[in-house]
Amino acid sequence: MRFETPFGPAWASVDENGAVSVFNFGDGGGGGFNPEVAKQVDEFFAGKRQAFDFPLAPKGSPFQKRVWAELVRIPFGETISYGELARRIGNPAASRAVGRANATNPIALIVPCHRVIGTNGKLTGYAGGIELKDKLLVWERAVRNGKAA
């Protein structure tokens, strides 16, 4: 299924159970349809929702899934470092492995890998590009602070 967002086109793939397996920005693929996904993405970009509650089905290793599960716990409009993410999953020495798992997150935005930044506070890699990562973070902070909708 495809979406228009304030940040350009996006698309999602949904498995046979209606769970999102992929979400990405750009003119990529898409498959399946789940009206609740479309509704919640629209609400998110309207500033009326800060988290998603539809089922997710990312494909990855147990370690990757542990990292991705922790990503959804990062509050809307906030950021943490890769080192902090590694600590949160109980493996403080794994910040590089956490970074690799973050980079392979198949469900962008919904599993908010854009909320992870370098220890020095600088924006680091994002599949959609650093510019998009910055725009998403600026927009989330503005919505959280009541300055955008």
What is the third-level CATH fold of 62-144?
A: Arc Repressor Mutant, subunit A (1.10.10)
- The residues annotated as belonging to the active site are 113
Per DSSP, the three-state class of 116 is strand
What are the Cα distances from residue 104, in Å, to 37, 63, 139, 140? 21, 12, 23, 22
pLDDT at res. 34: 81
Is residue 85 within 8 Å of residue 98, measured between CB atoms?
Answer: yes
CA atoms within 13 A on the CB side of 37: 26
- Return the percentage of the chain with pLDDT > 70, whole number: 99
As a whole number of angstroms, the distance between CA 127 and CA 55 comes to 22
Query: Where do the structural domains in the chain lie, given as residue ranges?
Result: 2-45, 62-144
- Return the percentage of the chain with pLDDT > 90, whole number: 76
Name the average pLDDT for the chain: 92
pLDDT band at residue 6, thresholds of 50, 70 and 90? very high
Is residue 50 within 8 Å of residue 40, measured between CB atoms?
Answer: no
Per DSSP, the three-state class of 77 is coil
pLDDT tens-digit map of 58-108 = 999 999 999 999 999 999 999 999 999 999 999 999 999 999 999 999 999
Average pLDDT over residues 42-58: 94
pLDDT at res. 115: 97
Q: Quick check: 149 pLDDT over 70?
A: no
